[in-house]
């Protein structure tokens, strides 16, 4: 009897621990507790993915960068955006750093061909109404809600990680009610395959948080009969 009670207690403790881990995985990235991030609502989460609805927001983006390396293209784009927030803009205004830095990836047709990358910075709330323009950059608005299927992973992002993490996200979505919406977005804009979100400064070496996003414009409800 004592052994049975002990086994039951261990099972309850293990279940609680798993629940805590799941809750931690679904929580906002730690950096968003320190600096501003775009607001979102979690619509669904399961093993390997999370579905979010982002609110209306302004972003500042680079022109497409042609490169064979995600890491090199992101570094180049980030430097342009860093100059922008340091005051290299039409208002000579210093802007607070936010997270995440996004890199939209349009893969090439071959392993030795350049892909196209657009790197973007989320405009802080105080600048949303009138983001400063800047040469070589463009201000973009996410009009209305945008939806994202998201997979989180850690460490510094290497070139090899991007395709691997995107494939894992895609695999986790198959057979779910979200797969149709994601696949429709791909058909509508096949050049915009996925986006990498990075939340940490390049000088943070531990506790790094990254995400793969697949963006889409509508979210299918569980019944499959209603689109938000």
What is the full DSSP assignment across 53-113? EEPSEEEEEEPPEEES-HHHHHHHHHHHHHHHHTT-STT------BSPEEEEEE--SSTTS
Show the domain range for 80: 3-216
Q: In the beta sheet, which residues pair with residue 44? A: 51
Q: Is residue 169 part of a domain?
A: yes
Q: Is residue 224 part of a domain?
A: no
Which residues neighbour 182 within 8 Å (Cβ) at sequence distance 6 or greater?
149, 170, 173, 214, 216
| Mean pLDDT score, 141-170 | 94
In 3D, which of 140, 121, 133, 35 has the Cα closest to residue 79?
Answer: 121
pLDDT at 27: 67
Pair of tokens at residue 120: 């973007």
> What is the distance between the alpha carbons of residues 30 and 157, in angstroms, rounded to a whole number?
17
Tell me the per-residue pLDDT of 175-191, one tens digit each, with 9 for 90 and over: 999 999 998 888 877 66
In 3D, which of 33, 51, 20 has the Cα closest to residue 152?
Answer: 51
Tally of structural domains, the chain = 1
| Mean pLDDT score, 114-143 | 96
Task: Give the residue, 145 or 89, on which the prediction is more confident.
Answer: 89
Q: What are phi and psi of 187, to 5 degrees?
A: -65, -35
Task: Give the residue, 24 or 220, on which the prediction is more confident.
Answer: 220
Q: Is residue 228 part of a domain?
A: no
pLDDT at 123: 98
Q: Is residue 223 part of a domain?
A: no
Q: Is residue 197 part of a domain?
A: yes
Q: Is residue 108 part of a domain?
A: yes
* pLDDT > 50? residue 35: yes
Q: Is residue 155 part of a domain?
A: yes
Q: What is the CATH number of the domain that holds 82?
A: 3.20.80.10
Q: Is residue 136 part of a domain?
A: yes
Tell me the per-residue pLDDT of 90-120, one tens digit each, with 9 for 90 and over: 999 999 999 999 999 998 776 668 899 999 9
Tell me the per-residue pLDDT of 10-29, one tens digit each, with 9 for 90 and over: 443 433 333 333 333 446 78
Task: Give the residue, 50 or 188, on which the prediction is more confident.
Answer: 50
- Contact yes or no for 57/141 (Cβ under 8 A): yes
Task: Give the residue, 106 or 143, on which the prediction is more confident.
Answer: 106
């Amino acid at each position: 009897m004592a052994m049975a009670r002990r086994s039951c207690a261990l099972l309850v403790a293990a279940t609680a621990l798993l629940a805590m881990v799941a809750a931690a995985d679904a929580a906002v990235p730690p950096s968003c507790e320190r600096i501003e991030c775009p607001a979102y609502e979690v619509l669904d989460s399961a093993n390997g993915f999370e579905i979010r609805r982002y609110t209306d927001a302004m972003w500042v983006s680079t022109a497409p960068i042609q490169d064979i390396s995600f890491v090199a293209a992101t570094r180049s784009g980030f430097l342009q955006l860093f100059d922008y927030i340091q005051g290299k803009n039409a208002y000579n205004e210093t802007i607070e750093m936010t997270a995440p830095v996004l890199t939209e990836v349009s893969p090439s047709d071959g392993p030795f061909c350049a892909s196209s990358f657009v790197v973007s910075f989320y405009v802080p709330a105080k600048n949303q109404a009138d983001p400063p323009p800047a040469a070589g950059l463009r201000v973009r608005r996410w009009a209305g809600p945008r939806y994202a299927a998201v997979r989180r992973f850690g460490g510094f992002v290497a070139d090899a990680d991007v395709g691997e993490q995107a494939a894992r996200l895609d695999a986790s979505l198959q057979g779910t009610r979200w797969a149709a919406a994601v696949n429709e977005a791909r058909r509508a804009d096949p050049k915009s395959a996925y986006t990498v979100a990075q939340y940490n400064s390049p000088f943070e070496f531990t506790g790094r948080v990254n995400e793969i996003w697949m963006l889409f414009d509508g979210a299918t409800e569980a019944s499959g009969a209603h689109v938000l």
